[in-house]
């Protein structure tokens, strides 16, 4: 649920995640102070970066303290990132346009915010199960390398992907005790994803669209809303558990959310080949250890939720598969594809088929 990612986590969970991430990556990407310190002569090119979130959460700190220094290091100081946070240059829904037009050189682009400009990228969230932790990077790499329509969609928007940021799995936060997912049936459940709204409806729940604000906790307290389907870290960040303390979660309930670190295509083309290669190496080295870090941090999130008074249960693999079947997600994909094709979007059904084929290699 992308609009939940608006703040930093002011607790030990966030700090532990970041420190573990930074240590893992820094082992292979030591920081560089400046070009002169490395004996580099000549000018350093400053690349302006924009992010809609404040600096403080795991994702943003990882960019600031690991990815950006890696770019500087791998380029031997020829490239340096000037970072701007919290929508200083562009708000979340304006980020794609800002990078496309060159208002910023690099920006964090969330495809879900720009469904019309990036329709095929919506497919990622149309699956119930998916890759876990760092394997998400492998999945996205394969999609981009094996399905030309995805990098082409970026090309159409005058952007180049240079790094993937990924998320944590889906959880169900209920205001009443929730033994299993059957509690969804007949209840009023809120989600921000159009995919998840259809999944909830097919499972027997009443899907609710509601802007995030004070009305959400008020509705949970008043029991006019029964719960939220949301990624587990955002649920904790915004303290959903204070009004909906009964949590069901599974690593296999893939959110399908991706934060694309995108560069303006004209800026990318203006870089020397050695600097393009440096950025690619920096991204690869920054991914090091991500799988272990995300696995450990997932467990820490569950521990922190329990310490905060929530009841937490991890769903079995069989329960997740039963939920997947009941949502009829393939029917939802098919209906969406027909709607997109009616609006003139080409190759939607083949793209879904190709992504599904790749996805099959990442789930049991």
- The answer to whether residue 328 is domain-embedded is yes
Regarding pTM above 0.75, the answer is: yes
Percent of the chain with pLDDT over 90: 76
To the nearest whole number, what is the mean pLDDT of the chain? 88
Q: Do residues 184 and 158 both lie within one domain?
A: no
- The answer to whether residue 318 is domain-embedded is yes
Q: What is the pLDDT of residue 212?
A: 82
Q: Is the pLDDT of residue 13 over 70?
A: no
Which has more pLDDT, 326 or 28? 326
Q: CA triplet 88, 239, 300: central angle to 5 degrees?
A: 95
pLDDT in tens, 225-261: 999 999 998 888 889 999 999 999 999 999 998 999 9
Q: What are phi and psi of 159, to 5 degrees?
A: -130, 160
pLDDT in tens, 46-76: 999 999 999 987 788 889 999 999 999 999 9
Number of domains in the chain: 2
**Token couple for 37:** 């310190």
CATH number of the CATH domain containing 108 = 3.40.190.170
**Token couple for 177:** 């005790």
Which has more pLDDT, 168 or 27? 168
Alpha-helix residue ranges (DSSP H) falling in the chain: 12-26, 58-62, 68-74, 95-101, 135-146, 149-156, 194-203, 215-222, 232-237, 265-270, 273-286, 290-307, 317-327, 329-342, 348-359
**Token couple for 279:** 């950025």
Q: Do residues 28 and 68 both lie within one domain?
A: yes
Q: What is the pLDDT of residue 4?
A: 37
Range of the domain at 322: 170-253+299-343+352-359
- The answer to whether residue 201 is domain-embedded is yes
- Tell the residue number behind the tokens 């310190």, with chain if given: 37
Q: Do residues 100 and 246 both lie within one domain?
A: no
Q: How confident is the model at residue 21 (pLDDT cuts 50, 70, 90)?
A: very low
pLDDT in tens, 117-158: 999 999 999 999 999 888 999 999 999 999 999 999 999 999
Q: How far is CA 46 from the centre of its chain?
A: 27
CA atoms lying within 13 Å on the CB side of residue 61: 17
Mean pLDDT to the nearest integer, 204-217: 92
- The answer to whether residue 364 is domain-embedded is no
pLDDT in tens, 299-352: 988 999 999 999 999 999 999 999 999 999 999 999 999 999 999 999 999 999
């Amino acid at each position: 649920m992308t609009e939940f990612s608006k703040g930093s986590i002011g607790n030990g969970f966030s700090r532990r995640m970041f420190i573990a991430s930074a240590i893992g990556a820094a082992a292979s990407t030591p920081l560089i102070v400046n070009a002169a310190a490395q004996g580099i002569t000549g000018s350093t090119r400053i690349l302006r970066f924009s992010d809609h979130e404040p600096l403080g959460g795991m994702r943003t700190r990882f960019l600031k303290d690991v990815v950006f220094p890696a770019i500087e290091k791998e380029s031997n100081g020829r490239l340096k990132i000037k970072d701007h946070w919290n929508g200083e240059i562009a708000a979340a829904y304006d980020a794609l346009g800002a990078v496309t037009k060159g208002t910023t050189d690099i920006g964090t682009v969330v495809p879900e915010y720009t469904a019309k400009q990036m329709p095929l990228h919506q497919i990622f969230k149309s699956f119930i199960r998916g890759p876990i932790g760092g394997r998400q990077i492998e999945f996205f790499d394969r999609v981009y390398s094996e399905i030309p329509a995805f990098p082409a969609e970026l090309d159409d928007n005058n952007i180049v992907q240079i790094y993937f940021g990924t998320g944590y799995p889906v959880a169900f936060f209920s205001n009443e005790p929730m033994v299993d997912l059957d509690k969804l049936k007949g209840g009023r459940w809120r989600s921000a994803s159009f995919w998840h709204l259809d999944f909830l409806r097919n499972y027997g729940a009443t899907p609710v669209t509601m802007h995030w604000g004070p009305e959400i906790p008020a509705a949970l307290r008043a029991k006019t809303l029964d719960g939220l389907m949301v990624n587990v870290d955002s649920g904790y960040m915004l303290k959903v558990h204070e009004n909906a303390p009964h949590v069901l979660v599974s690593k296999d309930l893939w959110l399908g959310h991706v934060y694309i670190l995108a560069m303006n295509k004209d800026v990318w083309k203006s870089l020397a080949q050695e600097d393009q290669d440096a950025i690619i190496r920096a991204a690869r080295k920054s991914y090091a250890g991500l799988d272990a870090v995300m696995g450990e941090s997932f467990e820490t999130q569950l521990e922190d939720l329990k310490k905060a008074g929530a009841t937490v249960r991890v769903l079995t693999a069989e329960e997740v598969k039963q939920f997947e079947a009941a949502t009829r997600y393939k029917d939802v994909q098919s209906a969406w594809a027909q709607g997109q094709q009616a609006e003139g979007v080409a190759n939607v059904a083949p793209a879904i088929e190709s992504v599904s084929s790749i996805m099959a290699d990442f789930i049991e």
